[in-house]
Amino acid sequence: MTQLDEQWVVAAYDRVADEFAAEGASVKILRDETIHRVSAAIEAGEYTLPTKTVENQVADIFDRVVPKARRVRRSELRTQFRIILDILEGGTLLGDEDPKLDQAFPLGNGEDKTLRYWTVVDVAMSINVRYEKAAEATSAATGFDADGTALIAELNRRGVRFIGDSLDCLTASD
């Protein structure tokens, strides 16, 4: 009996997605079918679930929820800056009792700090990191666009509908 691991779940997901072929499927459908098949394999005794310590379970929860919280907070950071400016310029009902001040926000360099303790350097660094990430994303999108456009042109030149068909043409002509 083999212990279930993440790679096996990803492989099962890939097999399910492959069965939908050209039609594709929503992530929900793929998720549900993958869960069904993996659960059936576990119940049939093909795989066992790993035994987890309390620390491992907490780590799993942390890994699931904290990255999402960080993304949400990163996206609302500009709003928080505006609120802080409003507080400094004329006050608000909550003032320094605003609960957001005691939430950790990503600085942008892989570190987090509660908003209450951000410094001028932290704000400046956060601005710079956002510009750096935007430049990286633009560069990656440009490369993706070039490669994707070249692939589209080649598929059109070959007169095929699916990428797999273009690869089949290569093996058939060899």
Q: Which residues are CB-contacts of 169 (< 8 A; sequence separation ≥ 6)?
A: 158, 160
Neighbour tally for 166: CB within 10 Å: 16
The answer to whether residues 136 and 106 belong to one domain is no
pLDDT one-digit tens code per residue, 4-57: 667 788 888 888 888 876 677 788 888 888 889 988 888 888 888 777 777 877
pLDDT one-digit tens code per residue, 87-122: 667 665 556 677 777 778 888 888 888 888 888 998
- Closest to 97 in 3D by CA, of 87, 106, 105: 87
The answer to whether residues 103 and 65 belong to one domain is yes
Q: Does the predicted model carry a pTM greater than 0.75?
A: no
Between these two residues, 85 and 135, which has the higher pLDDT value?
135
The answer to whether residues 47 and 84 belong to one domain is no
Using CA atoms, how far apart are residues 33 and 13, in angstroms rounded to an integer? 8
The answer to whether residues 101 and 123 belong to one domain is no
- Length of the chain counted residue by residue: 174
The answer to whether residues 59 and 110 belong to one domain is yes
The answer to whether residues 62 and 44 belong to one domain is no
The answer to whether residues 39 and 65 belong to one domain is no
The answer to whether residues 63 and 110 belong to one domain is yes
Q: Which residues are CB-contacts of 14 (< 8 A; sequence separation ≥ 6)?
A: none
The answer to whether residues 67 and 110 belong to one domain is yes
Residue 72: give the domain boundaries. Answer: 52-118
Number of domains composing the chain:
3
Identify the domain boundary among 118, 142, 160.
Answer: 118
The answer to whether residues 31 and 87 belong to one domain is no
